[in-house]
Amino acid sequence: MNPLIVNLGERSYPVFIGARAMQYLSSALESVGSGQVFVVSNPTVAPLYLPAVKTMLGNRLHGTFLMPDGEQYKTLATYTEALNAVMESGLHRDGIILALGGGVVGDLAGFVAATFQRGVRFLQVPTTLLAQVDSSVGGKTAVNHALGKNMIGAFHQPNAVVIDTTTLETLPERELKAGLAEVIKYGVIEDANFFTWLEQNMPALLQRDPEALRYAIEVSCSIKARIVSADEREQGVRALLNYGHTFGHVIESYAGYGNWLHGEAVAAGMVIASHLASAMQWCDVSDYRRIKALVEAAGLPTSAPNMQWQDWQAGLYRDKKVQNGLVRFVLPTAIGCAAITEQPIAPELLQASVAHQ
């Protein structure tokens, strides 16, 4: 299997993608180097895949920690529990943290890897569609705070990523749909042809057609790898990957972490951002309608829960992308192209977009 490479000079790393790619875990570990491995997973994923991972690790397995399953557990308290388990295991600085699970597991395990002994090596084995196409690649690690999502974290690139598409066979339908939100994102911001392909192949993706899923994951990861390689620390073009997230994070925080899945909130956020872009005449209304229709076709929400304007204001101004007191939004300018706002937006346009149905 020829892996996709995230090109970051000396810190470049491979992304293995394919059916039964778990068998390439040994190859991934070889690229990472020697050292004992500590696995972070959760009670949902562990019974399905941890026994096989343990077998492949053999005597390199140093310990495991199972965090509770759910976004509401991506907290400093759980991070501390995980860190305690790593330290009690006696893992040394030449050790490796392996994340086996979805985006929550990957984010928390990555933050542990970023901070334990000032940073140790890290291996991602994502088992959900959302993690496979987004959070496992790029090096963002974090935990949530009651006042904002992913407000406590660090950039810490993995040393390898193993994406086994057969893990999606056991993924609940709601989680599958949530992952499709991030797939749609790539079509909107970067690749009009991919967006058209998604319009034509959404039924196949929802039916878990293996070839359709593999193609969607490969294209998504290729786009993200290219963007991360160009702008690792989100000083420029990488900010485009936040399309839908500024609004989506407010929804997640307001609803209570775990009540709306991350992908569901991002889906609604993308439609809101597209509505705003259309209202500002950044994109044609027909593009907004296509985006909303594709989100609907994926079985995802296209509007936010009933929220007061003051709730939106409080959440938006806590966003990590606020600069000089100005909320910066990623807005589509056409299918396959997006830009970042650099000027204030009239409150009435914002209110109309967040309240649209």
Q: Is 2 a known active-site residue?
A: no
Contact 145, 208 (CB under 8 A): no
Q: Which of 242, 252, 264, 292 is catalytic?
A: 242
Annotated active-site residue in 71, 175, 182, 190 = 182
What residues have CB less than 8 Å from 207, skipping those under 6 apart? none
Tell whether the torsion through CA atoms of 111, 163, 148 and 319 is positive or negative.
Answer: positive
245 is catalytic: yes
Instruction: Establish whether 149 is a catalytic residue.
Output: no
> Which entry of 62, 185, 238, 275 is annotated as an active-site residue?
238
How is residue 224 annotated by DSSP? H
Backbone angles phi, psi at 190, to 5 degrees: -140, -30
The one catalytic residue among 71, 175, 190, 234: 234
Is 93 an active-site residue? no
- Judge whether 292 counts as a catalytic residue: no
Active site residue 140: yes
Tokens representing 52 are: 């096989």
Q: Which of 156, 185, 249, 290 is catalytic?
A: 249
Tokens, residue 31: 């690229």
Q: Which two tokens stand for residue 325?
A: 């007191």
Give me the catalytic one of 149, 224, 275, 290: 224
Catalytic residue among 245, 275, 290, 328: 245
**Annotated catalytic residue, options 140, 156, 290, 328:** 140
Active-site residue 54, yes or no? no
Please tell me which residue in 118, 233, 306, 348 is annotated as part of the active site.
Answer: 118
| Angle of CA points 6, 10, 12, to nearest 5° | 15
Residue 211: is it exposed, middle or buried by C-beta count within 10 angstroms (0-12/13-18/19+)?
exposed
- From 156, 185, 262, 292, active-site residue: 262
User: Could you give the residue numbers annotated as active site?
Assistant: 118, 140, 182, 224, 234, 238, 242, 245, 249, 262
